[in-house]
């Protein structure tokens, strides 16, 4: 029996609803396989934990997570807790503490979901954004002085290290090489930001020499937004800094039809620590408890998790089931349907059970 220990952290809002759905689907995949088992432990960390204990997770949170094979994460954010507390109290400490430096965000148009771009259909938009996930604009370096005074200053320093940039660049080139088109676009803003970003460009050129079969080009981030909208077919794998890729991945999700379906994987490529898998969407308190959250992003990221665990068959089977259900029009309201989370989940479970390939 292949058994994987999964730490589920549903956290806030619809995070709980979609992770519950995802856990159920994992169970069905295990049954379907017969020789596969997920040993899922749920942690009740998040904003409620913060309100009762004054912290998003216990001090030894990372120690508790370390023995797991992977982390399945919902969403953080609550209307009555400041966003920087929820973020820096849970998700970022896990990403940074476990050195999950590669944030991988695939986007494609799922059958049944319509892109807002005219004439762009399934297959026309199939990208993977590789987001640097350990430094850059999210390094937490900065401060405030003279608080509340007219002369108050706030600094937010981006940190780019040769080690950090080289490793994400290698990861991106490798990923591009593994995809059929072997095409990589390196995004920076090296015209205006003339230190760290120029270093990115230089390191990209150095790393490229080890990947002669990968075709690559460079884009400035502002021009990149235009290219994504006007010429989506010209892109495949994309690598960018923490903040640039944060923004581009929202745009990518919107162009593919909905952020509700977009997944993300926070990966430690060296596998020293558990990697973490989550939907990109947030806690969505406006629809929490209504049973209409779109579970597709949580399923898709579970598929990424299975791929990371080298359970390729289960990973592919899950995505096939999701695509079938969406193509059949069983969609939640955010993607134009009327189905509930329950109905989409049941349909995906049924498709997995009935998948004989
Ligand atoms: C994302 C999100 C987060 C980020 C937010 C919640 C801080 O937008 O995963 O893209 O910026 O990293
Ligand atoms: Mg974002």
What residues are neighbours of ligand 2 (ion), with CB under 5 Å? 246
Q: Alpha carbon 15 to chain centroid distance?
A: 14
Determine if the pTM surpasses 0.85. yes
pLDDT score recorded for residue 258: 83
β-pairing, 70-75 vs 275-279, is parallel
For residue 105, give every residue at least 6 positions away whose Cβ sits within 8 Å of its Cβ, in sequence order, or none.
128, 129, 130, 131, 245, 249, 252, 262, 263, 264, 265, 280
| Closest ligand 1 atom to 77 CA | 6
Question: Please, are residues 283 and 11 in contact by the beta-carbon 8 Å criterion?
Answer: yes
Query: pLDDT at residue 357 above 80?
Result: no
Q: What is the pLDDT of residue 259?
A: 82
With a 6 A CB cut-off, is 122 part of the ligand 1 pocket? no
Domains of the chain in sequence order? 1-102+271-357 (3.40.718.10), 126-255 (3.40.718.10)
- Picking from 342, 354, 352, 353, the residue whose alpha carbon sits closest to that of residue 295 is 342
Which pLDDT belongs to residue 17?
A: 98
Q: What does the pLDDT read at residue 140?
A: 87
Return d(Cα 105, Cα 159) in angstroms, integer. 22
Rounded mean pLDDT of 310-334? 96
Atom 7 of ligand 1: nearest residue by CA position: 87
Say yes or no to pLDDT of 355 above 90: no
Q: Which ligand has the minimum distance to the alpha carbon of residue 251? A: 2
Tell me the C-alpha distance between 27 and 299, whole Å. Answer: 12
User: How far is it, in rounded angstroms, from Cα 112 to Cα 59?
Assistant: 44
Whether the CB-CB separation of 56 and 86 falls below 8 Å is answered with yes
State the DSSP code for 78: B
- Output the residue whose Cα is nearest ligand 1's atom 12: 246
Q: Is the CB of 126 under 6 A from ligand 1?
A: no
In this prediction, residue 178 carries a pLDDT of 97
C-beta 246 within 6 A of ligand 1:
yes
Nearest to 109 by CA among 92, 95, 126, 85: 126
Give the position of tokens 């993977």: 128
* CA–CA gap between residue 70 and residue 72 (Å, rounded): 7
What are 51-106's pLDDT values in tens digits? 999 999 999 999 999 999 999 999 999 999 999 999 889 999 999 999 999 999 99
State the chain's mean pLDDT as an integer.
Answer: 96
Taking only the tens place, the pLDDT of each residue in 302-315 is 999 999 999 999 99
d(CA 260, CA 17): 13
Mean pLDDT of 135-157: 96
Q: Establish whether residue 280 lines the binding site of ligand 1, counting it when its CB lies within 6 angstroms of any ligand atom.
A: yes
Kindly report, residue by residue over 231-241, the tens digit of the pLDDT. 999 999 999 99
Backbone torsions φ then ψ of 354, nearest 5 degrees: -90, 0
Q: How far is CA 110 from CA 128, 162, 205, 262, in A?
A: 14, 37, 34, 10
User: Rounded CA gap, 177 and 181, in Å?
Assistant: 8
Q: Which atom of ligand 1 is nearest to the CA of 280?
A: 9
Residue from 77, 83, 87 to probe ligand 1 pocket by mutation (most atoms less than 8 Å from CB): 87
- Kindly give the distance from the C-alpha atom of residue 243 to the centroid of ligand 1, in angstroms, as a whole number: 9
What spacing in Å lies between the alpha carbon of 27 and ligand 2's midpoint? Answer: 29
* Burial class, 271, CB count within 10 angstroms (exposed 0-12 / middle 13-18 / buried 19+): exposed
Q: What's the pLDDT score for residue 102?
A: 98
The residue-averaged pLDDT of 327-342 equals: 96
Atom 4 in ligand 1: which residue has the minimum CA distance?
A: 246
d(CA 203, CA 163): 10
What local confidence, expressed as pLDDT, does residue 356 receive?
A: 81
Mean pLDDT (whole number) for 251-263: 91
The verdict on the CB of residue 87 being under 6 Å from ligand 1 is yes
Measured between alpha carbons, how far is residue 310 from residues 35, 70, 321 in Å?
14, 12, 19
Predicted local distance difference test score (pLDDT) of residue 315 = 98
Q: Is 135 in the pocket of ligand 1 (CB under 6 A)?
A: no
What's the CA-to-centroid distance between 244 and ligand 2, angstroms?
Answer: 10
Using the mean position of ligand 2's atoms as its centre, give its distance from the Cα of residue 78 in Å: 16
For ligand 1, atom 9: residue with the closest CA: 280
């Amino acid at each position: 029996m292949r058994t994987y220990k999964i730490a589920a952290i549903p956290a806030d809002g619809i995070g709980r609803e979609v992770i519950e759905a995802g856990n159920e689907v994992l169970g069905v995949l295990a049954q379907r396989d017969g020789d596969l088992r997920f040993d899922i432990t749920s942690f009740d960390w998040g904003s409620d934990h913060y309100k009762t204990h004054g912290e998003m997770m216990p001090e030894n949170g990372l120690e508790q997570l370390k023995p797991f094979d992977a982390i399945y994460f919902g969403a953080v954010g609550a209307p009555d807790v400041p966003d920087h507390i929820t973020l820096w109290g849970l998700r970022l400490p896990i990403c940074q503490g476990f050195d999950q430096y590669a944030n991988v965000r695939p986007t494609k148009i799922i059958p049944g979901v319509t892109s807002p771009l005219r004439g762009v259909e399934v297959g026309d938009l199939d990208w993977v954004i590789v987001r640097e996930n350990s430094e850059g604009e999210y390094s937490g370096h900065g401060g405030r002085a003279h608080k509340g005074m007219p002369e108050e200053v706030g600094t937010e320093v981006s940190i780019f290290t040769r080690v950090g940039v080289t490793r994400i660049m290698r990861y991106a080139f490798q990923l591009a090489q593994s995809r059929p088109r072997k095409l990589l676009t390196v995004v920076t803003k090296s015209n205006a930001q003339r230190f760290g970003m120029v270093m990115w460009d230089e390191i990209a050129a150095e790393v490229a020499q080890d990947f002669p079969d990968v075709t690559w080009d460079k884009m400035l981030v502002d021009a990149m937004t235009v290219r994504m909208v006007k010429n989506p077919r010209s892109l495949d794998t994309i690598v960018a800094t923490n903040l640039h890729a944060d923004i581009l991945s929202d745009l990518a999700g919107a162009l593919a039809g909905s952020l509700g379906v977009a997944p993300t994987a926070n990966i430690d490529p060296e596998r020293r620590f558990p990697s973490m898998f989550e939907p990109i969407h947030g806690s969505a308190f406006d629809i929490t408890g209504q049973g209409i959250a779109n579970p597709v992003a949580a399923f898709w990221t579970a598929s990424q998790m299975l791929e990371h665990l080298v359970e390729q068959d289960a990973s592919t089977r899950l995505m096939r089931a999701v695509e079938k259900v969406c193509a059949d029009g069983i969609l939640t309201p955010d993607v134009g349907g009327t189905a509930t989370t329950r109905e989409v989940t049941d349909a995906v479970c049924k498709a997995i059970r009935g998948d004989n390939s």
